[in-house]
Amino acid sequence: MPGDPPERKQERAREPIADDFRAAEEVLARLMPSLDRDAHEYHDKQQALAQLRAKVGKDRFDLRYGLRPPRDAIERAEIDLFQGRITQDQFREACKADAERPIDIEMLDTFCNAYEDRLQSYSRMLQTVIAIATDQREPDAWCRREAEVDRHVEEMKAEMPLQKEQVGTVFTFLAELRADRNGEPVQCGGRSAESAHRLADVIMDHAVEGWRSGKKIAEKSRTDPSYLYPTSASHLFYEAYLPGLPRPNDLMSLMVLERARARKAIQEQPGTAKTAPSASASINIQAEAVNVTTPSVNVAGVKPDGDGKPARRPRMRRGVAEPLIREHLLRRPHDTAEEVAEATGCSVGLVAESAAWKANQDRLKVAAKEGRDPKAVKLDLRTVNAAGGNIQTQKHAAEEDEEALDTEIDKREQDLGRQIGDYLKHHPDATPQEVARALCCTAGEVELRQAALEQLIADQAENAEEDGGGKYIEKKEGLPQDGKPPKRFRKRV
């Protein structure tokens, strides 16, 4: 049916589950209360109803059997048809009359709610792509996470809960409303359209096409020997499409304003009853909102506050965030964009598009190519500004800050190394995870220092054999006297 919401499609063509049997039991209790629950007939009917619910979906089954009220005139007509109060021809006439009716508040709200849901999926899609493409600890994360992007893409292209004629009616009304106001198209991110909702539709179509194109190219790169190297759809989308996509929050702002103007215009029409503003008229992007700009990407985490309303993290300005990002990457060059964002208090997208992040990516490539520790490759202001940054600080001051940071980091590494050594003395069989929990650090930091210690032991044992004797540190005895592993094994805390 044209009015099916997205959840109906997702629930079709599956095996009955426990929830289906509970719903079937509720229907039988309402329609056949005298039927013995131990009888074969009861179990047969319950099985048939559960299979029907699995086939047609929860939403339609609950509507037909009275487990939820109808939402609109079409659903009321569907109930009448199912219960035999109207014929099939009468149902078609009711659908046609509903599709051709003038726009009203109910139609507008259904339309706008559907597009706001699509925009949420667009936001989550961008967020997931950024997380995959900037994951430096798990380069193959795309293997398990690109399915999440596929789900968001399908949600963006879900069928509208309105008939095609009604969607056209709303689009026409919004375009006429824009023409009456100033006659100029809505613009965002270098694109324009006759209405904000049409603009969002065009942008989401462009994102979907970009993702599907990237999937095809990535698949060919892994199977076609003519390609120089394999890649993933996430990295292709991140590099080629993401910088040119508008921010979901900007689109949401335009859509909310347009919805408010449309509601006001409908209410001012003769014969239209005044209604209270819809609670969803000021809907916010739930979960995590991804803001994409050119040249910036901003992913803002959203957490519910005490009143149940989403409380957004204040957006940090680029000029404030750049020095913080650079300072963090000096200490922890291997951190992901999410970890940098959490430490600096800005958004993941802002980190991913910052000049300091890009310069650090280049630094990691140089270090990997030359076989050096990334921290040995400078990340000074000249490097950051060459990548597009604009950090207005004197170079000598930055070097002094870096030296002070290095001194503080060395002290922290020394303290942490001693703590790990002392803990392993008393708990020689402890796993890295147990040590990390006890000392409030990460298992990776424990494993790094254990590897450094084992390497040091092996080197000393080799030297002792060459010298014909000598002593070397026992495996569980701790780190060297300075509490730090050798330089090539060190990792900033």
Q: Based on the domain organization, do 275 and 376 belong to the same domain?
A: no
Average pLDDT on 106-132 reads 92
More confident residue, 304 or 328: 328
Query: pLDDT category, 362, cuts 50, 70, 90?
Result: confident
Which of these, 304, 209, 287, 305, lies nearest to 248 by C-alpha position? Answer: 287
Q: Based on the domain organization, do 120 and 37 belong to the same domain?
A: no
| Alpha helices (runs of H) in 229-354, residue ranges in sequence order | 233-240, 248-267, 318-331, 337-344, 348-352
Boundaries of domain holding 145: 105-290
Angle at which helices 18-31 and 40-56 cross, to 10°: 120
The pLDDT tens digits of the residues spanning 240-298 come to 888 889 989 999 999 999 999 999 999 887 765 544 444 444 434 433 344 443 333 44
Question: Counting beta carbons within 10 angstroms of the beta carbon of residue 1, is it exposed (0 to 12), middle (13 to 18) or buried (19 or more)?
Answer: exposed
Residue 356, in any domain of the structure = yes
Q: Based on the domain organization, do 213 and 187 belong to the same domain?
A: yes
Tokens of 26: 């509720």
* Three-class secondary structure of residue 312 per DSSP: strand
DSSP state of 157: T
Q: Based on the domain organization, do 64 and 177 belong to the same domain?
A: no
Helices and strands, counts by H and E, the chain: 20, 5
C-alpha 203/C-alpha 461 separation (Å) is 63
C-alpha 425/C-alpha 437 separation (Å) is 16
Task: Count Cβ atoms below 10 Å from residue 468 Cβ, excluding itself.
Answer: 6
C-alpha 317/C-alpha 298 separation (Å) is 10
C-alpha 111/C-alpha 171 separation (Å) is 9
Q: Based on the domain organization, do 121 and 75 belong to the same domain?
A: no
Average pLDDT on 63-80 reads 83
Tokens of 271: 């014969």
* Cβ 323 vs Cβ 389: under 8 Å: no
Residue 295, in any domain of the structure = no
Return the pLDDT at 100. 76
Boundary (domain end) residue, out of 99, 127, 157: 99
DSSP state of 83: T
Angle at which helices 443-467 and 432-439 cross, to 10°: 120
CA dihedral 338, 308, 156, 205 (to 10 degrees): -70
**If phi over 0 gives left and psi between -120 and 50 gives alpha, with beta otherwise, what is residue 283?**
beta
Tell me what the pLDDT averaged over the chain comes to.
76
Q: Based on the domain organization, do 336 and 428 belong to the same domain?
A: no
Q: Give the CA diameter of the chain.
A: 104
Residue 37, in any domain of the structure = yes
pLDDT at 442 over 70: yes
More confident residue, 114 or 458: 114
DSSP state of 243: G
Which of these, 429, 426, 427, 420, lies nearest to 479 by C-alpha position? Answer: 420
Q: Based on the domain organization, do 242 and 278 belong to the same domain?
A: yes
Q: What are the CA-CA distances from residue 334 to residues 118, 144, 329, 357, 368 (Å)?
A: 34, 21, 8, 11, 12
pLDDT at 203 over 80: yes
Average pLDDT on 320-338 reads 81
C-alpha 299/C-alpha 288 separation (Å) is 7
pLDDT at 411 over 80: no
Q: What are the CA-CA distances from residue 53 to residues 17, 31, 74, 177, 478 (Å)?
A: 10, 16, 20, 42, 63
Boundary (domain end) residue, out of 51, 70, 99: 99
The pLDDT tens digits of the residues spanning 120-175 come to 999 999 999 998 988 877 878 888 889 999 999 999 988 888 888 889 999 999 98
More confident residue, 490 or 225: 225
Question: Counting beta carbons within 10 angstroms of the beta carbon of residue 245, is it exposed (0 to 12), middle (13 to 18) or buried (19 or more)?
Answer: buried
Residue 299, in any domain of the structure = no
Find the helix or strand (DSSP H, E) in which 138 lies. Answer: none
Query: pLDDT category, 36, cuts 50, 70, 90?
Result: confident
Q: Based on the domain organization, do 206 and 110 belong to the same domain?
A: yes
pLDDT at 118 over 50: yes
Main-chain phi, psi angles of 370, to 5 degrees:
-95, -5
C-alpha 379/C-alpha 332 separation (Å) is 12
Would the pTM of this model clear 0.75, i.e. be above it?
A: no
Find the helix or strand (DSSP H, E) in which 483 lies. Answer: none
More confident residue, 410 or 128: 128
Stretch among 69-73, 77-81, 119-123 having the lowest mean pLDDT = 69-73
Stretch among 222-231, 338-347, 461-470 having the lowest mean pLDDT = 461-470
Task: Count Cβ atoms below 10 Å from residue 208 Cβ, excluding itself.
Answer: 17
C-alpha 147/C-alpha 257 separation (Å) is 34
Residue 298, in any domain of the structure = no
Q: Based on the domain organization, do 213 and 340 belong to the same domain?
A: no
Q: What is the number of structural domains in the chain? A: 4
The edge-to-edge listing of strands for the beta sheet with 288-292 is: 288-292, 297-304, 310-312
CA of residue 154 relative to chain centroid, distance: 14
Residue 305, in any domain of the structure = no
Q: Based on the domain organization, do 373 and 412 belong to the same domain?
A: no
Average pLDDT on 304-330 reads 65
Stretch among 15-24, 220-229, 413-422 having the lowest mean pLDDT = 413-422
Return the pLDDT at 97. 80
Residue 89, in any domain of the structure = yes
Tokens of 191: 């694109």
C-alpha 72/C-alpha 77 separation (Å) is 9
Main-chain phi, psi angles of 106, to 5 degrees:
-65, -45
* Cβ 185 vs Cβ 192: under 8 Å: yes
The pLDDT tens digits of the residues spanning 228-248 come to 888 899 999 998 888 889 989
Q: Based on the domain organization, do 79 and 115 belong to the same domain?
A: no
Q: Based on the domain organization, do 161 and 227 belong to the same domain?
A: yes
pLDDT at 303 over 60: no
Which of these, 283, 321, 292, 354, lies nearest to 127 by C-alpha position? Answer: 292
Q: What share of the chain is helix, strand, coil (3-state, %, to 5)?
A: 65, 5, 30
Residue 422, in any domain of the structure = yes
Boundary (domain end) residue, out of 273, 290, 307: 290
Stretch among 126-130, 210-214, 246-250, 327-331 having the lowest mean pLDDT = 327-331
End-to-end, the C-alpha distance of the chain in Å comes to 57
C-alpha 334/C-alpha 135 separation (Å) is 9
pLDDT at 207 over 70: yes
